[in-house]
Amino acid sequence: MISWLTLATMAVVFVFTAWIIRHYASKSTAIYVYIFVFLGYFLAFVLVVLLPYDIYLSIDNSLTNIKDLRFILSIIWRVIYWIVFVLCWIVLPVIQEYEMAGDFNCSSRLKSAFYRHIRGFILTGAIGIACLSWLFYKGELTIASTPVFLVVLSNCWGLLLIIVLLGYGIIEIPRKFWKAGNNSTRLCDLYIKATIMSEDMVETKFALDEIVKLINAASFLLPKNSDLQDNMNYILSLIPGDMLEHQRAMQTQLSRDAATQLGELTLNKLVKLHKDLKDILSEYQRSKYRWDAMVDEAIDLEDIITASDSPFRRIVFSFKDCKTGCLARMREVVEWYWLTKAKPLLYRTLALGFMVMSILILLGETTLFLEFPVGVFPLMFRESYGDVITQFLCMIPLCYIIFCTYFGLFNLKLSGWYGLYPNNHTDSSNLVWSAFFLARLSAPLCYNFFLFVKVRNTVYSQVMDIIDLVPLVGTSFATFFPLLLVLFAGLNLFHVYGRFMSALGMSQLSFSDKYRADKIGDGKLMVQRARTEKEKKFVANDRRSNVEMGRIAGTQEARDSNFKRALV
């Protein structure tokens, strides 16, 4: 029977996965997206949850029913691994393409999704097909062992991405927490971030205006009795009302140029317009949410810095209600000490701890090819400390590696596509994309971790020993390739990673832009303008609220007067 601790952890993961989807998924997300995204997240987490228990079974020789436990675990590993494999390479990508498709009925959207997914496989699988042909020709691979080759390719791709992401995370996480330990430094970073986000918003707004202009022109070109009129009305319903009215008020040469650019309107052209609108509109909405969240954080931080030397030990936030009640003053003092003193100190302490962890992870990953253990973590698992303690010790480096990997994943420049946005601001395609990336990294991450702690004879390692059937990219690749972690970590440490990847033509694997100190002044002005606009809205809403309260009070007075007259 599986350990009670493992089962309890699975239950926690189940609840955590449900909370993630409920907290991040848009309210318009379809039920089938909920189901498959939940499976992708949950099963990917389960693969990782089983890992500490597998290590415990491998180093504890005192168990009497060890063979039965290992047999049960091997079945669970295989079943979950192949379910996750199918989900992350076939099902979830098709669902993501289906959600992004611009077709107007389910069958056409599904057909387009399959076509785009298969086309992507053909384009990216050319190297794989060539390798398969070469291995068949050499007699080193048979049709029966072809699934082995698929496992190898999946692991190699996942290991490549893990090393790239880990090289970013182990450097940037300690650096980020160290900066967060100084409120002034953190505010300067937000100012610089504001300039970059503002530029992104302008570009996205321009692209959205262009597609709305084309759709507006198409709506005038399309005859009212056309069979495509319902499709056009549906596209128009997706456009924000103010943008559509603005374009309709500008029936100038620009609109005529757009009409000329469109040419003859067909169903395929409307499908493309629909798809482009969905993509750009989603990105525009995400950029607005990121901007609003950044502005709120910067304004709150400005208020905290202003109050840091206050003799009253009280923070007056610009857009938050004052605390009331009998314990209001105590809560104000506790909040002041926490935000100005304790929280920065906690961040600095965590930064130092993460720096030590990063050094240990770097040392372990770059010595995978050695037979003897090097570093603290491999030495921790030379013997068993019992079921619970062994699994808890295993979770320490495992959780940090996962943290670094997924921190890097959601800081790629493509994060606008598959970032997770709280308070139900994550659309369906974004949610699915994050799910299959998470699932694709889980199995290679497990395999890498077993090599990292140098625990032999694990059940998962025996399941994955089939990769040695494929030359060049088997275990040797998995043990020597992580040496590149030193290179990626060094590039990120000295802020030259982006230029290096751009020079290699792999800018899609670059991380968020590094911020320039000369942009602090511009960012501060942008935040000040945003604060002024927010104050105007706040005052306007307050006035409307007072008017409404006055109206309610007047109505109540009239009712009281009528009641008194009725009594008389």
Question: Are 400 and 546 part of one and the same domain?
Answer: no
Among 539, 488, 442, 511, residue whose Cα is nearest residue 163: 488
Q: What is the pLDDT of residue 295?
A: 93
The predicted model gives 269-298 an average pLDDT of 91
Give the rounded percent of residues in the chain with a pLDDT score beyond 90. Answer: 36
% of the chain surpassing 70 pLDDT: 82
411 domain-assigned? yes
Q: Which amino acid is at 321?
A: D
- What tens digit of pLDDT does each residue of 451-508 get? 888 888 888 887 776 565 555 555 666 777 788 888 889 988 888 887 777 776 666 6
DSSP 228: T
Given a cut of 50, whether residue 566 has pLDDT beyond it is no
pLDDT at 27: 87
Integer Cα distance of 197 and 190 in angstroms: 10
Is 275 a domain residue? Answer: no
| Of 277 and 465, more confident | 277
Residue 228 belongs to a domain = no
Give domain status of residue 358, yes or no.
yes
Bridge-partner residues for 412, per DSSP? 511
Number of structural domains in the chain? 2
DSSP string computed for 27-50: TT--HHHHHHHHHHHHHHHHHHHH
Task: Give yes or no for residue 562 having a pLDDT over 70.
Answer: no
| HEC profile of 470-501 | CCCCCHHHHHHHHHHHHHHHHHHHCCCHHHHH
The whole-number pLDDT of residue 2 equals: 75
Does some domain include residue 59?
yes
Q: Which range in 44-48, 227-231, 347-351, 451-455 is most confidently predicted, on average pLDDT?
A: 347-351
Three-state DSSP class for residue 65: coil
Q: What is the C-alpha to C-alpha distance for residues 284 and 291, in angstroms, rounded to an integer?
A: 10
Strand segments, DSSP code E, in 100-162 are none
The answer as to whether 420 is a domain residue is yes
The average confidence (pLDDT) of the chain is 83
Residues 497, 436 within the same domain = yes
Buried b (16+ CB within 10 A) or exposed e, 515-543: beeebbeebbebbeebbeebeeeeeeeee
The Cα–Cα gap between 362 and 360 comes to: 5
pLDDT higher than threshold 80 for residue 188:
yes
Average pLDDT over residues 155-161: 82
Residue 131 clears pLDDT 70, i.e. is over it: no
Give, as one character, the DSSP assignment of residue 139: T
pLDDT of residue 350: 97
DSSP code at position 412: B
Q: How confident is the model at residue 403 (pLDDT cuts 50, 70, 90)?
A: very high
Does one domain contain both 510 and 548?
no
Stretch 107-127: mean pLDDT: 78
Q: Is residue 450's pLDDT more than 90?
A: no
The pLDDT tens digits of the residues spanning 440-449 come to 889 889 888 9
pLDDT score for 568 = 42
Among candidate residues 495, 515, 535, the one where a domain is terminated = 515
397 and 537 inside one domain: no
Mean pLDDT for 509-515 is 61
Per-residue confidence (pLDDT) for residue 464, from 0 to 100: 74
Q: Select the more confidently predicted residue: 233 or 137.
A: 233
38 and 114: one domain? yes
Do 372 and 496 sit in the same domain of this protein? yes
pLDDT computed for residue 565 by the predictor:
46
Q: What is the DSSP letter of 468?
A: G
Please report the pLDDT score of residue 567 as a whole number. 41
- Confidence band of 144 (pLDDT split at 50, 70, 90): low
**Tokens 């007259």 sit on residue:** 565
Domain stops at, among 478, 495, 515: 515
Contacts of 524 (CB under 8 A, 6+ apart): 191
Residue 97 lies in a domain: yes
For residues 502 and 560, membership in a common domain is answered with no
The radius of gyration computed from the CA coordinates of the chain, to the nearest angstrom, equals 29
Quote the pTM value.
Answer: 0.85
pLDDT at 275: 92
pLDDT band at 244 (very low <50, low <70, confident <90, very high): confident
Mean pLDDT value of segment 65-69: 85
Tell me, yes or no, whether 533 and 399 share the same domain: no
User: Residue 70 — φ and ψ, nearest 5°?
Assistant: -70, -35
* Residue with more model confidence, 323 or 556: 323
Same domain, yes or no: 352 and 410: yes
The per-residue pLDDT for 118 is 80
Backbone angles phi, psi at 234, to 5 degrees: -65, -40
| Residue with token string 């935040």 | 527
Higher pLDDT, 548 or 401: 401
* Token digits of residue 382: 């030379």
Long-range residue pairs from 270-273, CB within 8 A, at least 24 positions apart, any chain? 270/102, 270/104, 270/218, 270/228, 270/231, 270/232, 270/235, 271/102, 271/103, 271/104, 271/108, 271/112, 272/102, 273/102, 273/211, 273/214, 273/215, 273/218, 273/235
For residues 13 and 129, membership in a common domain is answered with yes
- 481, 545: one domain: no
Is-contact 219 551, C-beta < 8 A? no
Which residue range(s) make up the domain with 509?
4-185+325-515
Tell me, yes or no, whether 476 and 544 share the same domain. Answer: no
Residue 18: pLDDT above 50?
yes
In angstroms, rounded to a whole number, what is the distance separating the alpha carbons of residues 380 and 372? 13
Confidence of residue 76 (pLDDT cuts 50, 70, 90): very high
Q: Is residue 408 part of a domain?
A: yes
Mean pLDDT of 313-336: 87
pLDDT of residue 50: 92
Burial 143-155 (b: 16+ CB within 10 A, else e): eeeeebbebbbbb
- Check whether 558 has a pLDDT greater than 50: no
Long-range contacts of 415-421 (CB under 8 A, 24+ apart): 415/512, 416/200, 416/283, 416/286, 416/287, 417/283, 419/286, 420/20, 420/24, 421/24, 421/286, 421/289, 421/290
Give the pLDDT of residue 371: 79
